[in-house]
Chain A
Amino acid sequence: MLEVRDLTAEFIREGEVLRVVQRIGFDIAAGEAVGFVGESGSGKSVTARAVMRLAPEGSSIRWGGRILFKGQDLLALSEREMTDVRGRRIAMVFQDPMASLNPVMTVGQQIDDMLMRHMSLSGAQARKRTVELLGLVGIRDPEHRADDYPHQFSGGMRQRVLIAIAVSCEPDLLIADEPTTALDVTVQAQILRLLMRLRRELGMALMLITHDFGVIAGMVERVYVMNNGEIVESGAIDTLFAAPKHPYTQALLAAVPRIGTRRSA
């Protein structure tokens, strides 16, 4: 479904060009769950945003290569055409739920506006669907909670709302960029379970970005390991865990603490 070939990403600042993603290629099949692992600065977030063609505000970024989504090159689309893909076909969940919701709109309005944009629903239809979605992601009393503002929700609940926003139009691919990093450990597990369940129920493909091998274990079928803007190793998750070939992958795996083993000096 998604075929990425020779993808490059370059930041341009005051005439200087900084290449942060170096001609990488990867595939995600329909319904498949794929992990991207690497430390911060490895280029995994920029890669995820490349698929959405989202440049950080105020920065100038140049994408290169091809991103084929169902045979269509996303990099060749106009910005206006791209807005029909974003949210509708490919959706994204971000790292910091505390900052990701608009503080002056109710939670319900922030799902409504997306449904009305992509699904051509009326206001009343959108509201009905919004309440369903909030219930789907595990928010109690969704009819009333839809009229609350983001500051009335905890971090974990806000991430649930953001997941409800992301899956509202039943996209083909859900990109989750460090979706649990900013959350408590107990909440992390709940959010990961929710993502797994929704992927199964809605038949979405999942692109899970994380720095933590512990997060993707049991979540994905395949993994790409990124370092310095390159994919250094890839493969089925079991093979990779059992026998990591690249020294960087070995180092990342060694960084995950295990119960019953003593940290080597």
Chain B
Amino acid sequence: MIRMVLVRLALTIPILLGVSIVAFGLMRMLPGDFAEAAAGTTSVSAEVLATTRAQLGLDRPLWEQYGIWLKGVLTGDLGRSFATKRPVTTELLPRLAVTAELTLMAGLIAMIIGVATGLASARLRGRTDWLVRGWNSLLLAVPNFVVATLIVLVFGLYFPMIGIFNYVPFAKDPIGNIASLLLPALSLGLTVSVTISENTRAAVLEVSSQDYVMVARAKGLLARTILGNYLVRNALTPVITVTGLQLAALLGGSILIETIFTIPGMGQYLFDSVTRRDYPVIQAIVLVSSTIVLLTNVLVDIAYARVDARVSYE
């Protein structure tokens, strides 16, 4: 088990390296660079652009630029933002915290809604099953930015006392902060709840027809014991997998949702940085996001082994 974790962690290093090279390459392929974006106009003299590029090191060969960046990362230095000249780490960390909070809340909401509706649909069947599956199809068909826009519209028009765009920093008012993130987290989590709900439903149906559930009933156990220890614990394994995989979807979705709800998170920061071609910031965000996704996958594997004793990584 410990060996498995160490191997998996070691494997993330080449993956992260690959991701950073691809991201580096893709950005340089975009037309324009920071010097042009910062000048804001095309009528700048070539010398001015050249000076800016020389200052930022953009005049060096690509492999050298990548090498300098990588060397910095290995020593814990993510570089300085082209636009603000401040260290990327200082700028990124508070935004990362906001995005992490939003994503975690969305994930939690998705889990609660998904597991509850999936379980209800599989156990109660009939009309409930119909309702849940219809609702899921609807959510699946509608992208999360539309859901977010609808939420903004509905709450903005009919419940104006609930502030939609008033992001409250955590340090200022923790409860207000969580409250201000509830609606964005809901719009982000709803789409993901569909996947969790459908997977929970399928897993519970599968487990329900297993002989050991019949045996549990023959033992005279109470319905809640059977539900918890026999049905849910066995149905959990596939649900853990999809939930872990959905984290990437949540991180991606948060960019849109942060823009719609004007939340000062990593998503908006990334959007601005791409527009400005602020390479160090983009590189840092890609690195941090992929690290989070990879670490989650390792956590999912550990969770498997905790839930199901048959899983062995030897």
Contact = CB atoms under 8 A, between A and B. Distances in A.
A109 B225 CA distance: 12
Contacts of A37: none
B234 A104 contact: yes
Nearest to A102: B212
Interface stretch (A82-90, A190-198, A215-223, A238-246): A82-90
Nearest to A79: B223
B28 interface: no
A165 B97 CA distance: 51
A231 to B, nearest CB: 23
A93 B208 CA distance: 19
Chain A facing B: main interface SS: loop
Contacts of A88: 220
A235 B209 CA distance: 36
A103 interface: yes
A104 B308 contact: yes
A83 B216 CA distance: 11
Interface in B212-233: 212-223, 225, 229-230, 233
Interface string A88-120: 100110101001111111100000011001100
A54 interface: yes
A15 interface: no
Among B209, B218, B222, B223, chain A packs the most CB atoms within 10 A around the CB of B218
Contact of B221 (A56, A92, A113): A113
Contact of A83 (B211, B215, B221): B221
B309 interface: yes
A77 B112 CA distance: 36
Contacts of B212: 99-103
B149 interface: no
B229 A113 contact: yes
Contact of B217 (A58, A86, A96): A86
Nearest to A95: B211
B310 interface: yes
A201 interface: no
B218 A86 contact: yes
A162 B215 CA distance: 9
A151 interface: yes
Contacts of B65: none
A94 B220 contact: no
A16 interface: no
B229 A105 contact: yes
A105 B234 CA distance: 10
Contact of B220 (A87, A103, A149, A151): A87
B7 interface: no
A103 B218 contact: no
Given A102-B216, A105-B229, A117 B221 contact: yes
B51 interface: no
A94 B215 contact: yes
Contact of A94 (B209, B211, B230, B309): B211
Given A87-B218, A88-B220, A117-B220, A103 B310 contact: yes
B83 interface: no
Contact of A117 (B213, B218, B225, B230): B225
Contacts of A91: 218-219
B307 interface: yes
Contacts of B213: 57
A106 B211 CA distance: 16
B275 interface: no
A67 interface: no
A99 B211 contact: yes
A102 B229 CA distance: 9
Nearest to B221: A117
A201 to B, nearest CB: 21
Interface string A63-84: 0000000000000000000011
A124 B209 CA distance: 32
Contacts of B233: 102, 104-105
Contacts of A52: 218
Contacts of B225: 113, 117
A233 B97 CA distance: 77
